[in-house]
Amino acid sequence: MILIKTKKEIDYIRESSQIVAETLQLCKSYVKPGITTLELDRIAEDYIRSNGGIPAFKGYSQGSGIPFPGTLCTSVDEEVVHGIPKNRVLKEGEIISIDCGVEKNGYFGDAALTVAVGEISAEKKKLMEVTEQALYAGIDQARVGNRIGDISHAIEEYVNQYGYGIVRDLCGHGVGKYLHEDPQIMNFGRKKTGAVIKNGMTLAIEPMINLGTWRVVVADDGWTILTADKKPSAHFEHSIAIIDGKAEILSRV
């Protein structure tokens, strides 16, 4: 069931999303060769808690699985999403997806970005640019009267121009009262399919795009998703609300 939010509820989701956005920008400023993903995680948790928020990912579990141990998902190069923060030292030329969720006043925000570690290859830069632009192509279709499939199709159509792999095993989602709500928002699909978009919907749209194959595998830690061919992946995400017929990005600084 898709939950329609009131103006007051959207204000709460916006507040949580703003903390997410600020946390991501803070962490981005610290990304450089030599820092560890665990250090980034500690910076994020300190900032979130100092602003009255709760790290939404920490302790999150999928059924009977191991609870996620970090505040951030830190996914480097061939790690698509759900990378666990640890003593991994970032190296020149890598890219890192930083995904963050915050709960405040009982409402959730969720967003992600991919950051270059020092100087990166032109190939990785292009992958990041296309993934971010695909996110905005999807957001542009998030308007009253369209359907969820219009978002999915716009992302797919944009990415297909470049021949990248669109991850099919993971997707965006509703967000707000819970970290993950209906509807699922795939990053590929047909126009005019899925639920009708209405005012009051709050959604997290998040293309995950691979340089090579779309296929992914799960690491031994039970969380980290990896590209099957070990080529790099990029990931961008925003939480949005449908207000007065169109999308407002809640997780933008």
27: containing domain: 7-249
Q: Give yes or no for residue 65 having a pLDDT over 90.
A: no
Q: Is residue 48 part of a domain?
A: yes
User: Is pTM beyond 0.95 here?
Assistant: yes
- Give the pLDDT confidence of 208-243 residue by residue, as tens digits: 999 999 999 999 999 999 999 999 999 999 999 999
Q: Is residue 1 part of a domain?
A: no
Average pLDDT on 115-131 reads 98
Q: Which pLDDT value is given to residue 195?
A: 98
Q: What is the identity of the amino acid at 63? A: G
**For the domain that residue 122 is a member of, what is the CATH number?**
3.90.230.10
In percent, how much of the chain has pLDDT > 90?
97
Q: How confident is the model at residue 166 (pLDDT cuts 50, 70, 90)?
A: very high
Nearest to 15 by CA among 202, 199, 251, 187: 251
Interatomic CA distance for residues 8 and 107, integer angstroms: 11
Tokens 């970032």 — which residue?
90
Domain count, the chain: 1
Q: Is residue 149 part of a domain?
A: yes
- Give the pLDDT confidence of 171-188 residue by residue, as tens digits: 999 999 999 999 999 999
Q: Is residue 2 part of a domain?
A: no
Q: How far is CA 42 from CA 53, 83, 96, in A?
A: 14, 15, 16
Among 55-69, 72-86, 163-177, the range scoring the smallest mean pLDDT is: 55-69
Q: Is residue 73 part of a domain?
A: yes
Indicate the average pLDDT of the chain: 97
